[in-house]
């Protein structure tokens, strides 16, 4: 057993996924199998091997600091789930108490 | 004429449009008619943009009439994977969470296609957020393989591959993160290319795994793929990982189609157990063919390739868990449960649970696990080290040989539903393609015949060093030419999923219904 149902429930909370009980049951079993399989990377990756983060070595890239017009508020808010007075309307972000 | 147009290559269509023998509008209309006739069964498209396609085609015709220079592929229709942003079409990534989303900007690839006069017919189906190997993870239902409608077209760019194989478009664009262009290309019997990482722009590609995602072409011929490769690639200041170097001479290489003296390595680890007999047989024949064409064949061991799959299923989910955090139900996309009583965080969690499908949820949680403190070193850290080992295997191999070859997939197209509930079985479909994603080198899948046991296409994978994309085009074009000569007709003439195979391919003219299973109601109208 590489991962418990309880741990999966914790991962779901961290991932902001309100999963059903049935989903938790199913995913716990599947993730257990997948994690056991991917743990094989531990067999060969010895200390001292440098990690690769990117396929091709990349360095930070700067562009000329040229002013370009941004997207208009109307264009952006057009796709918002809810908008009010030229702003995104969002649910409350603080608790009641 | 319309039925002939849809069977032509992109190169042929571009020449016809440029000469004025056929208008771009007629070409677009022929393909839109074809979509209308068959896409109900193939389901390659999520959105068909008839009006804007005809408008783009008309612009090409006007340009020509005015004597202005045309792009090399001007007037050629194309199917665009629904992961590229488009201002005039929805961009859903096969997900409920983005259903109906109209992006406020075009991806760089979209922009370049438009500028080249390429006519975008619509957006193609895909596994949700490009996570999958069958399109079964699309929230809008699977696409079907034109060779056998009961089977998957591969994925995640399965809609793009199916569109090209079903003659709905001569060209398509996909993205490859773990094999998502080459694997569907292989199982649909067409050409699929993953350019070197950074060779094509990711700007406006909805991100799955940013260190791996690579846009690339799908086409029915190697030359067509090369022409599209050249048209869509090149440095983009909007993508910080875009390589500031000229596009490798892929079109010239595809025309050269010569392997004389080329050193070709067969990867020991990508074959044997787990590979279906038909795939192994066709692959072995392709290698013998290359030898007969003057290539020097040797076997090359890449010992760490067997660890590529586990490393990939740590790296890609880790990056996805971070990238998909942007779907927070606040600025765009779906919002669920916003009833005035719930907090932003509750709404976010409800929306993500309702908007994401099972595979996306699994990968987000897997990535969250691999990146969490206490597990980071043992999983994500180790996977990054394996990535180094795989790159070293490639480096060592490319000191001995010019290109590497393997089957593109371990099996041919599998039946819809067969692997849907078994994630690990699904993951195996990308066994051969993942190493090149992790190392960022170029790789192509080119059809090398049909498996005798099921009559389904097999793909030969050719892998070339980073930014030596031209080399693999040489090999693929040589294989395509030699096999085409031997067969006497295009491989796709034998595809019979839509009941219109061409039999011998020579007896029947292009586009005519085959003798046995012709459906006049479908094809006769054309």
Please tell me which of the candidates A53, A76, A78 has its beta carbon nearest to residue B384. A53
**Chain B CA closest to residue A16:** B349
Angle between helix axes B108-115 and B222-232 (nearest 10 degrees) is: 110
Which of these ranges, B100-109, B177-186, B507-516, has the smallest mean pLDDT?
A: B507-516
pLDDT tops 70 at residue B222? yes
Determine whether the interchain pair A33/B105 forms a contact, defined as Cβ–Cβ distance below 8 Å.
Answer: no
Per DSSP (E only), the strands in B131-258 are 171-176, 191-194, 214-219
Mean pLDDT of B131-141: 98
Q: How high is the pLDDT of residue B226?
A: 98
Q: Is A75 an interface residue toward B (CB < 8 Å)?
A: yes
- Comparing CA positions, the residue from A18, B19, B452 lying closest to residue A9 is A18
pLDDT of residue B523: 35
Buried b (16+ CB within 10 A) or exposed e, B366-398: bbbbbbbeebeeebbbbbbbbbbbbbbbbeebb
Chain A hits for B369, CB-CB cut-off 8 Å, are 3, 7, 11, 31, 35
pLDDT tens digit string along B392-420?
999 999 999 999 999 999 999 999 999 98
Domains of chain B: 102-115+126-307+386-494 (3.90.1300.10)
Is the pLDDT at B509 greater than 80? The verdict is: no
B385·A45 Cβ contact <8 A:
yes
- pLDDT over 90 at B516, yes or no: no
Token couple for B96: 């409920």
Contact with chain A for residue B342, Cβ under 8 A = yes
- Residue A82 at interface with chain B, using a CB cutoff of 8 Å: yes
- Chain A within 8 Å of B311 (Cβ-Cβ)? yes
Q: Which of A10, A16, A42 to mutate to test the interface with B (most CBs of B within 10 A)?
A: A16
Contact of B372 with chain A, judged by CB distance below 8 Å, is answered with yes
CATH of the domain at A9: 1.10.20
For residue A53, tell me if it sits in a domain: no
Instruction: Report pLDDT digits (tens) over A79-93.
Output: 999 999 999 999 998
Confidence of residue A64 (pLDDT cuts 50, 70, 90): confident
Residue A79 to residue B389, Cβ atoms within 8 A: no
Q: How many domains does chain A have?
A: 1
Which residue of A37, A80, A95 is in closest CB contact with B332?
A80
User: How confident is the model over B278-304, as pLDDT tens digits?
Assistant: 999 999 999 999 999 999 999 999 999
**Quick one: pLDDT band at residue A56, thresholds 50, 70, 90?**
confident
Which structural domain, as residue segments, surrounds residue A29? 5-44
- Any A CB within 8 A of B87 CB: no
Which residues of B are known catalytic residues?
A: 81, 156, 180
Q: What would the pLDDT profile of B17-53 be if each residue is shown by its tens digit?
A: 999 999 999 999 999 999 999 999 999 999 999 999 9
Could you tell me if the ipTM is greater than 0.85?
A: yes
Residue A75 lies in a domain: no
A69 has a chain B CB within 8 A of its CB: no
Query: Cβ contact (<8 Å) for B196 and A58?
Result: no
Is the pLDDT reported for residue B511 higher than 50?
Answer: no
B349 interface with A at CB cutoff 8 Å: yes
Eight-class DSSP state of A65: -
The per-residue pLDDT of chain B, averaged, comes to 94
Percentage above 70 pLDDT, chain B:
95
Q: Does residue B505 have a pLDDT over 70?
A: no
- Of B305, B328, B386, B442, which to mutate for an interface test with A (greatest number of A Cβ within 10 Å)? B386
B121 pLDDT higher than 60: yes
**pLDDT tens across B325-345, in order?**
999 999 999 999 999 999 999
A36 belongs to a structural domain: yes
Q: Which is more confidently placed, A59 or B482?
A: B482
The whole-number pLDDT of residue B355 equals 98
By Cβ distance, the residue of A41, A42, A92 closest to B343 is A92
- Judge: A56–B384 Cβ closer than 8 Å, yes or no: no
Q: What is the arrangement of strands in the sheet containing B171-176, beginning at the earlier edge strand?
A: B45-48, B119-124, B77-81, B171-176, B214-219, B191-194, B442-450, B457-464, B403-407, B263-267, B296-300
Residue A84 falls within a domain, yes or no?
no
Q: Which of A18, A30, A44 sits opposite B386 (nearest CB)?
A: A44
Instruction: Please report the pLDDT score of residue A1 as a whole number.
Output: 63
pLDDT over threshold 90, residue B519: no
The backbone torsions φ and ψ at residue B179, rounded to the nearest 5 degrees and listed phi first, read 135, 10
| Nearest CA among B46, B165, B173 for reference residue B109 | B173
Residue B520 pLDDT level (bands cut at 50, 70, 90):
very low
Helices (H), B107-221: 108-115, 158-165, 182-187
Q: Is the pTM of this model over 0.80?
A: yes
Q: What is the mean pLDDT of residues A33-56?
A: 90
Res B228 pLDDT > 50: yes
For residue A70, tell me if it sits in a domain: no
Q: Are strands B119-124 and B45-48 parallel, antiparallel or unpaired?
A: antiparallel
Q: Is the pLDDT of residue B361 over 60?
A: yes
Q: Which of B361, B437, B440 has the CB atom closest to A56's CB atom?
A: B440
Q: Are B160 and B123 in contact (CB under 8 A)?
A: no
- Residue A96: what pLDDT? 64
Residue B151 carries which DSSP code? B
Q: In this model, does residue B436 exceed pLDDT 90?
A: yes
- Looking at the domain assignment, is residue A33 inside a domain? yes
A38 contact residues in B (CB cutoff 8 A): 310-311, 313-314, 366, 370, 379, 383
- pLDDT number for residue B421: 86
Residue A62 domain-assigned? Answer: no
Residue B489 at interface with chain A, using a CB cutoff of 8 Å: no
Q: What is the pLDDT of residue A45?
A: 76
Q: Of B254, B238, B171, B163, nearest to B200 (Cα)?
A: B238
CB–CB contacts below 8 A, A to B: 191
Residue A38 forms part of a structural domain: yes
- Which residues 6+ apart lie within 8 Å of B106 measured at CB? B85, B86, B87, B114, B204
Overall average pLDDT of the B470-481 stretch: 98
| Pick from B514, B516, B496: nearest CA to B505 | B514
B329 close to A (CB below 8 A):
yes
Smallest CA-to-CA distance from B458 within B171, B188, B143, B147 is with: B188
- Please name the residues between 14 and 43 in chain A that touch chain B, using a CB distance below 8 Å: 14-20, 23, 26-27, 30-31, 33-35, 37-43
């Amino acid at each position: 057993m590489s991962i418990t149902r309880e741990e999966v429930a914790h991962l779901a909370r961290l991932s902001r996924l309100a999963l059903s009980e049935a989903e938790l049951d199913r995913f716990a079993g599947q993730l257990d199998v997948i994690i056991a399989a991917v743990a094989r990377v531990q067999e060969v990756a010895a200390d001292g091997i440098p990690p690769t983060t990117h396929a091709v070595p990349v360095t930070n890239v700067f562009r000329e600091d040229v002013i370009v017009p941004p997207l208009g508020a109307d264009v952006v808010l057009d796709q918002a789930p809810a908008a009010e007075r030229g702003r995104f309307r969002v649910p409350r972000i603080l608790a009641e108490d | 004429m319309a039925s002939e147009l849809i069977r032509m290559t992109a190169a042929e269509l571009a020449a016809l449009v440029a000469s004025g023998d056929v208008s771009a509008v007629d070409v677009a209309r022929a393909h839109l008619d074809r979509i209308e006739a068959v896409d109900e069964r193939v389901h390659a498209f999520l959105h068909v943009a008839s009006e804007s396609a005809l408008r783009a085609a008309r612009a090409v015709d006007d340009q020509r009439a005015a004597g202005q220079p045309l792009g090399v592929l001007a007037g050629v229709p194309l199917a665009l994977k629904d992961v590229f942003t488009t201002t005039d079409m929805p961009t859903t990534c096969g997900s409920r969470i983005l259903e109906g989303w109209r992006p406020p900007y075009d991806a760089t690839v979209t922009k370049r296609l438009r500028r080249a006069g390429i006519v975008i017919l619509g957006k193609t189906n895909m596994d949700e957020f490009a996570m999958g190997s069958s399109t079964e993870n699309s929230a809008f239902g699977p696409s079907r393989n034109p060779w056998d409608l009961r089977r998957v077209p591969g994925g995640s760019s399965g809609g793009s591959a199916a569109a090209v194989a079903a003659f709905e478009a001569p060209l398509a664009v996909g993205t490859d993160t773990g094999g998502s262009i080459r694997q569907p290309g292989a199982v649909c019997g067409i050409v699929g290319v993953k350019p070197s990482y950074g060779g094509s722009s990711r700007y406006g590609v909805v991100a799955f795994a940013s260190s791996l995602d690579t846009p690339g072409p799908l086409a029915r011929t190697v030359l067509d793929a090369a022409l599209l490769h050249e048209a869509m690639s090149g440095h983009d200041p909007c993508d910080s990982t875009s390589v500031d170097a000229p596009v490798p001479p892929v079109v010239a290489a595809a025309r050269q189609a010569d392997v004389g003296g080329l050193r070709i390595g067969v990867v020991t680890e990508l074959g044997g157990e787990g590979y279906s007999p038909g795939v192994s047989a066709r692959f072995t024949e392709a290698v013998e063919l290359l030898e007969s064409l003057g290539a020097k064949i040797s076997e090359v061991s890449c010992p760490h390739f067997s660890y590529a799959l586990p490393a990939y299923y740590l790296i890609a989910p880790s990056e996805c868990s971070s990238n998909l955090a942007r779907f927070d139900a606040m600025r765009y996309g779906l919002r669920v449960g916003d009833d005035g009583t719930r907090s932003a965080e509750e709404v976010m969690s409800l929306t993500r649970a309702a908007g994401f499908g099972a595979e996306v949820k699994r990968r987000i949680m897997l990535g969250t696990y691999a990146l969490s403190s206490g597990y980071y070193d043992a999983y994500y850290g180790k996977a990054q080290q394996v990535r180094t080992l795989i790159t070293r295997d490639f480096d060592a191999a490319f000191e001995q040989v010019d290109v590497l070859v393997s089957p593109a997939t371990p099996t041919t197209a599998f039946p819809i539903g067969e692997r849907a509930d078994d994630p690990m079985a699904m993951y195996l479909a990308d066994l051969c393609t993942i190493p090149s994603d992790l190392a960022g080198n170029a790789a192509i899948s080119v059809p090398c015949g049909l498996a005798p046991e099921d009559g389904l296409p097999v793909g030969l994978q050719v892998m070339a060093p980073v930014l030596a994309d031209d080399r693999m085009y040489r090999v693929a074009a040589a294989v395509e030419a030699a096999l085409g000569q031997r067969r006497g007709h295009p491989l796709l003439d034998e595809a019979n999923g839509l009941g219109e195979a061409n039999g011998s391919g020579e007896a029947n003219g292009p586009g005519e219904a085959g003798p046995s299973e012709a459906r006049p109601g479908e094809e006769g109208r054309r």
